[in-house]
Amino acid sequence: MTNDMVTRPTGSSLQRLGEAAAERLGGESVLHFEDQTFTGKQLQQRSRRLSQGLRDAGLQPGERVVVCMANCPEVGLTYSAVWRAGAVTTPVLFLLSEDELRHVLADSEAAYVVSTPDFLPKVIAASTGVSTLRGIIVADGGPGGATAGVPLLDFADLENAAEGDLVDCASSDLAALLYTGGTTGRSKGVMLSHDALSSAAWALVAAGKETEREPSTRSLLPLPLSHVYGLMLTIAGSHATEPGTTVLMRWFDPAGWVQLAEQHRIQASALVPSMIQMLLAQPLEDHDLSELRRLGSGGASLAPEVAEELLKRLPHVEITEGYGCTETGASCAATRPGEARLGSVGKPLPGIDVRLEKADGTDAALGEDGEICVRGPNLMTGYWNAPEETAKAIRDGWFHTGDIGRFDVDGYLYVVDRIKDLIIRGGINVYPRDIEDALLEHPDIVGAGVVGKKDERMGEEVVAFVQLRPGATLTPEDVVDYARGRLSAAKYPRDVRIVDALPLTSVFKLDRKALRTQL
């Protein structure tokens, strides 16, 4: 299915879009971080100076700059400055291990890495032996007394350069190299062009407009800017037609989120499901959240029980789910304002085609499961230095996501599960999410993660890891009995393990890989 209700402007690189946005909205306050507020013009001027400082330091067009920082204004400044210099940004989560970071630095052949003093020891250690690296740029306090095998440069010194002209590039040129989570092996670099990122961001903005002229919105952003979801939301500002203010959190904590939402009269926020689950443990009713009207959920499937509890406690709020992945610029489908349908991630975004493919290569019928395949200008160019992997993922112009979904008769997409997470028990397909959603209906269960384990008789057996509400006294046998009453004989777990907490990835997704290691 596709949605082409409006036509996207094409041919603009991200630095040109940023310049146009600064001209259009530059005098307005666009960012609040901790005790600082910035206008678009201030950020654009800083970006121009930093870009020239990077060029003076030796950055060449097309070179990769790794950005390893917690959320702060300098993250967005670096992205903009790198693009303005005609180079490529490589965002990484600051939670990466030393070995994972070394892999990214070496594989991307990074020329520079930008970080902050709190992560500098790890960055220095990971940089050892990376022959392409020519400098570590330290923001928010400067290099201090640290030493490294490569020069340490002060972010503030680079930002003292005079403003220079931007280095123009084609919209088809590489803009960002993002590394996947590596859940099935070493993480791969995903190549996203200026046009891919721009079209993905534009599609999100176009789908989210309630009217032709959308009023200013105060939004709260707790997502890591180094993740494709957070990156996309920052780029979306380049397509905004009306000013809006974003309150940026350094990192997510539920109590802090509630306080900021009340203090700044927040109207919208983008979250992932585990963040929403954490918010439910907060005394939401004790805070004035009357201005809040929309919560976006993406990055993973949101359990209906979690959504229903939030809507019960905040009935004036609409939850709008969306779907995407790194290879599609975080954009495939989204819920339009006022059109939320519980359990659905909405309809395909403008200009993006989505089809569901069965195992035999034919299209799935309405209501039938199939692999979600995506085609559009938002697609990656390919995997970095991995042509065979690229050829497997993109066939006949369609990117095969590895996710299973289904369409209803109205064109709403439902994400069922990951193909690799599918459990085949006695020849019957069992989706972990179905079991997890059923378990979460129990009032004493606050978290559930389901994986399969090898079984001589059934091929695979269902294992459920369950996190209980504080003070709950459920036993594994109680959970099995509860599940048996709500699931078919093929689905309910025979093996239940009570855990203190479910493992999450660095972007707050359930870490099934970690669960499998516990088997």
Dihedral, CA of residue 339, residue 343, residue 347 and residue 353, to nearest 10: 170
Residue ending a domain, choose from 418, 446, 463: 418
Which residues, including other chains, have CB under 8 Å from residue 497's CB and lie 6 or more apart? 463, 464, 465, 466, 476, 518
pLDDT over 60 (residue 6): no
At 216 the pLDDT is 60
Q: Are residues 222 and 355 in the same domain?
A: yes
Give me the long-range contacts of 466-475 (CB less than 8 A, separation at least 24): 466/439, 466/496, 466/497, 466/498, 466/499, 467/498, 467/499, 467/500, 467/501, 467/502, 468/444, 468/498, 469/443, 469/444, 469/445, 472/444, 472/445, 474/442, 474/444, 474/445, 474/498
Q: What's residue 187's pLDDT?
A: 86
215 has pLDDT over 70: no
Choice among 76-85, 256-265, 384-393, 505-514 with the minimum mean pLDDT: 505-514
Domain containing 78 equals: 14-169
Helix 194-208, helix 228-236: angle, nearest 10: 70
| 240-246: average pLDDT | 78
Q: Quick check: is 283 in a domain? A: yes
Indicate the angle between helix axes 98-108 and 120-127, nearest 10 degrees: 50
Q: Would you say residue 83 lies in a domain?
A: yes
Average pLDDT value for the chain: 90
Q: Let me know if residue 176 belongs to a domain.
A: no
The pLDDT tens digits for 290-335 are 999 999 998 878 888 889 999 999 999 999 999 999 999 999 999 9
Write the pLDDT tens digit of every residue in 23-37. 877 778 889 999 999
The strand pairing partners of 271, in sequence order, are 297
Q: Is residue 77 part of a domain?
A: yes
Beta bridge partners of 455: 459
pLDDT at 180: 86
> What is the predicted pLDDT for the residue at 303?
84
Q: Choose one of 390, 418, 446: the last residue of a domain.
A: 418
User: In this structure, are 362 and 434 located in the same domain?
Assistant: no
Question: Per-residue pLDDT for 79 more than 80?
Answer: yes
CA distances from 226 to 6, 95, 194, 419 (A): 29, 11, 17, 26
**Could you read off the pLDDT of 174-188 as tens digits, one per residue?**
999 999 865 445 789
Are 378 and 238 found together in one domain? Answer: yes
Q: How many domains does the chain have?
A: 3
Residue 213 lies in a domain: yes
Q: 3-class DSSP state for residue 93? A: coil
- Of 122-136, 142-156, 314-328, 377-391, minimum mean pLDDT range: 142-156
Does any domain span residue 9?
no
Angle formed by the axes of helices 194-208 and 14-25, to 10°?
40
**3-class DSSP assignment, residue 166:** coil
- Beta bridge partners, 322, equal 334
For residue 73, what is the domain's CATH number? 3.40.50.980
**Are 157 and 202 found together in one domain?**
no
3-state SS class at 77: helix
Beta strands in 232-369 (DSSP E): 245-248, 268-271, 294-297, 318-323, 333-334, 347-348, 353-357
Residue 246 lies in a domain: yes
Judge if 242 and 362 occupy the same domain: yes
Mean pLDDT, residues 337-349 taken together: 92
User: Which one of 354, 388, 418 terminates a domain?
Assistant: 418
- Given this model, what pLDDT does residue 183 score? 43
Residue 145 has pLDDT above 80, yes or no: no
pTM of the model: 0.87
* pLDDT digits 0-9 by tens, 403-424: 999 999 999 999 998 888 889 8
182 domain residue, yes or no: no
Q: Read out DSSP for 11-71?
A: S--HHHHHHHHHHHHTTSEEEEETTEEEEHHHHHHHHHHHHHHHHHHT--TT-EEEEE--S
Residues 41 and 107 in one domain: yes
Question: Based on the domain organization, do 263 and 287 belong to the same domain?
Answer: yes
Q: How many CA atoms lie within 13 A of 156 on its CB side?
A: 6
Residues 295, 308, single domain; the answer is yes
Name the β-bridge partners of 38: 31
CATH number at residue 440: 3.30.300.30
Residue 352 has pLDDT above 60, yes or no: yes
pLDDT in the model for residue 458: 84
Please state, in angstroms and rounded to a whole number, the distance separating the CA atoms of residues 182 and 203. Answer: 27
378, two tokens: 């938002």
Q: Which parts of 286-326 fold into alpha helices (H)?
A: 304-313
Secondary structure, 3-state, 452-490:
EEEECCCEEEEEEEEEECCCCCCCHHHHHHHHHCCCCCC
377 & 431 share domain:
no
**Claim to verify: residue 400 and residue 432 sit in the same structural domain:** no
